[in-house]
Amino acid sequence: MRVTVVGAGSWGTAFARVLLDRGHEVTLAARDPDQARVIAATGRNPRYATGIDLGAARVVTTGALTGDAELYVLAVPSQAFAAVAAALPDGAPVLSLTKGLDPATGDRLSLHVGDRRAAVLSGPNMAEEIAAALPTAAVLASEDGFLAGELQHALNSATFRVYVNPDVVGVELCAAAKNVIALAAGAVDGLSLGDNAKAALITRGLAEMSRLGEACGARQETFSGLAGMGDLIVTCWSRHGRNRHAGELIAQGRTAEQAVAEIGQTVEGLTTAPVLRDLSRRLGVELPITEGVCAVLDGQSIGELLSRLMGRTPTEE
């Protein structure tokens, strides 16, 4: 298959390697011309996942895409997704790797691909481990069963196991919401509040993700699967988790901007948190952890927030 991966960050780079290992003809599109030139000349990404050999890939800039791809894979920040999708040169299907919501509209990102067939890939997929060819499982969701099966066959391997799921709504909501919960989990780490507190937060985070999913018509079993519980666990615990790390830094006194600068990569939870909060308010769904993350980002002290959350009236689980 001829596949164009748009986005040369750590996830786009690692996924390009997954495709190359499966024998596909891969074009990697980078936004920065200097980055594209270095990758083309050396076969290595100078910024992200630098150990991955990309020598077999064709490298272009995003402004130089041609219409010969059979599949476009979008691994770009959520705030750029709609514009990038609109600029794709032809009607080939889109596979989204981006875990977030559109910050301008609050929409799920797959709604911005127009009339193209679309699929989304999610799950506990830390790019650093995929780059090292460590065993990984992912879930691929599409309303087009034929496309889902075709992509499952194209991607599945001995180190990258792919399951299919028709619940696009649930998979995309899980992918967005788990990053916000991971910010809070990182704050638990930054304040040294312990494993009990972190496990409780993750569990209650899954509960609020599930409530939102139910209100949006998602399947509840999606939230106990790879896209939900699986991705939430790894994002909240892994040392590679950018959102967890950002929450940790913010709890230690950095601003959100300082945390992003120190991490050096996109932290989707910071963009998604207010979008998710606004969506939940429109739907009348209570998301106390998400509300708390937004309150801290708006200037509330974490100590005050912790007292408020722990002081909530006890209820049934």
Give the residue numbers annotated as catalytic, written as ranges: 178
Radius of gyration of the CA atoms of the chain, in A: 19
Q: Which residues contact 140 (CB under 8 A, 6 or more apart)?
A: 95, 119, 120, 121, 148, 151, 152, 155, 162, 163, 164, 165
Cα–Cα nearest to 144, from 124, 115, 123: 115
Order across the sheet with 118-122: list the strands.
Answer: 58-61, 25-30, 2-6, 71-74, 94-96, 118-122, 136-141, 160-165
Coarse DSSP helix, strand, coil percentages of the chain, rounded to the nearest 5 percent: 55, 15, 35
DSSP strand pairing (118-122 vs 136-141)? antiparallel
3-state secondary structure of 252: coil
2 DSSP assignment: E
How many separate helices (H) and strands (E) can be counted in the chain? 14, 8
In angstroms, the CA 203 to CA 200 distance is 5
In angstroms, the CA 73 to CA 16 distance is 9
* 234, 124 contact by CB (below 8 A): yes
- What are the beta bridge partners of residue 161? 137
